[in-house]
Amino acid sequence: MTEQILLNNARIFDGKKMLDKNLSVLIENSEIKQVAGHAEFEGFTGSQYDLTGQTLMPGLVDCHVHLCYTASGDPRADGDKMGASQFTLTALKNAQETLHGGVTAVRDCGGRDYMEFGVRDAINRGEFDGPSIYASGKIICMTGGHGHIHGRVADGVEEVRKAVREQILQGCDLVKIMATGGVMTPGVNPEDAHYNAEEMASGVHEAHRFHKRTASHAQGTEGILNAVNAGIDSIEHGIFLTQQCIDLMLEAGTYIVPTFAALFNILDNADNSDGSKIPEFIIEKCIRIGETHKQSIKDFYTAGGKIAMGTDAGTPHNKHGKNADELRLMHANGISAIDCLRMSTFNGIDLMGLDKHGMIDKGYAADILVVQGDPSKDIEMVANTDNHVLVIKAGKIIKNKF
């Protein structure tokens, strides 16, 4: 049976730009069937909504989440008490909350023993509501390196190659390799390079040989350079960028996924006033690197670098479903509202490599967010989920405030 929904008279952000006049969008089953003036649809008798005064745009894309993490003050401590069934249900619940928050596609950048893969597959097959999910499986890191507690520890060129092949065998969509230390692992420094240039090159090359995109947690300068020189597709966090990093990334077209929400939510809850204890070493490192991070992303943006929205949802107090908060943080850090919208729709899909998504156009997936007002003029219209009117995934209405 053919199911149609007509969304009338909307201001449209198509994934790249605001269209210059209001148009209507016809959804048929899971796809956008037609985008045209209202008069084209005269006599339409099916389900329809009048979006006058509202903006229709592609669903948001979050390029960095952890569906298996609980987003409490100490997600790792939670994880230590969870079994396989709890991880699976947590990942499913988190995916559904993410979709309700207006996010129709995510990259999971580090799971737990592939339990998120079952959730991904069930959602991507349409058995459960949820965003489109691409997942990396286990993060690949060095002995004692960032992520070693639950990642795939691999040292040396040969072993890194094997670790990549293991993720591919398990069914990963992308490969995540740790270039530097980070905040969430005790005893490592964000500033320090972890994998050396040869190990990094080995992992990235092997992933690309089998058509998998690559993402690298990369905070310190040397690690960022190792990852970029290896041909990495995205730098996650990107804290200590130098002019050399920026120049190389512009030349290679490397994306940055800033994840402002990760640092913001830790620092914003550092007093642990709600009783949920964020480990002290995490807070200490965020204080140390927070301002540098903001300046680096500002410099990268000003230079014209490619940015895709990502939150690191699941890390302390960084809640699944509140992903849109990231747009507020990006805007507060000097990114124009219209660029925030691009980075959170078309750019995210471009980085994921998800065909026929991330645009409002004929033949694209009907993954749609409708918000009050004009988010290109007021970022709160998209950043605050109270202003979301409709969330539609593959033609199915998920949230409806009409």
Q: Rule CB under 5 A: which residues touch Zn ion? A: 312
Nearest distance from C-beta of residue 109 to Zn ion, angstroms: 5
Cα angle 286-288-292, degrees, rounded to a multiple of 5: 95
Beta strands at 388-393 and 396-400: parallel, antiparallel or unpaired: antiparallel
| CA 23 – CA 38 distance, rounded (Å) | 6
In the bound state with Zn ion, the residue whose beta carbon lies nearer, of 50 and 78, is: 78
In the bound state with Zn ion, the residue whose beta carbon lies nearer, of 148 and 388, is: 148
Which tokens in the block code for residue 27?
Answer: 């959804």
In the bound state with Zn ion, the residue whose beta carbon lies nearer, of 307 and 360, is: 307
Nearest distance from C-beta of residue 238 to Zn ion, angstroms: 13
Residue 8 β-bridge partners? 50
In the bound state with Zn ion, the residue whose beta carbon lies nearer, of 235 and 394, is: 235
In the bound state with Zn ion, the residue whose beta carbon lies nearer, of 233 and 312, is: 312
Nearest distance from C-beta of residue 218 to Zn ion, angstroms: 12
Nearest distance from C-beta of residue 236 to Zn ion, angstroms: 6
In the bound state with Zn ion, the residue whose beta carbon lies nearer, of 25 and 119, is: 119
The sign of the CA dihedral 205, 209, 210, 214 is: positive
Residue with tokens 């597959």: 121
Neighbours of 39 (CB within 10 A): 7
- What is the DSSP track for 206-262? HHHHTT-EEEEEE-SHHHHHHHHHTT-SEEEE--S--HHHHHHHHHHT-EEE--HHH
Residue 188, SS3?
Answer: coil
Given a contact cutoff of 8 angstroms between Cβ atoms, the answer to whether 196 and 170 are in contact is no
Nearest distance from C-beta of residue 299 to Zn ion, angstroms: 22
In the bound state with Zn ion, the residue whose beta carbon lies nearer, of 5 and 139, is: 139
Residue with tokens 């992933």: 207
Nearest distance from C-beta of residue 312 to Zn ion, angstroms: 4
Distances (CA, A) of 257 to 38, 46, 47, 265: 38, 40, 38, 17
Given a contact cutoff of 8 angstroms between Cβ atoms, the answer to whether 311 and 65 are in contact is yes
DSSP symbol at 158:
H
Nearest distance from C-beta of residue 157 to Zn ion, angstroms: 25
In the bound state with Zn ion, the residue whose beta carbon lies nearer, of 199 and 312, is: 312
| CA 360 – CA 154 distance, rounded (Å) | 42
In the bound state with Zn ion, the residue whose beta carbon lies nearer, of 312 and 326, is: 312
How would you list the strands of the sheet with 255-257, edge to edge? 152-153, 140-141, 174-178, 213-218, 234-237, 255-257, 306-307
Nearest distance from C-beta of residue 258 to Zn ion, angstroms: 12
Distances (CA, A) of 308 to 167, 181, 339: 24, 22, 10
Chain residue whose CB lies nearest Zn ion: 312
| CA 353 – CA 47 distance, rounded (Å) | 32
Nearest distance from C-beta of residue 313 to Zn ion, angstroms: 9
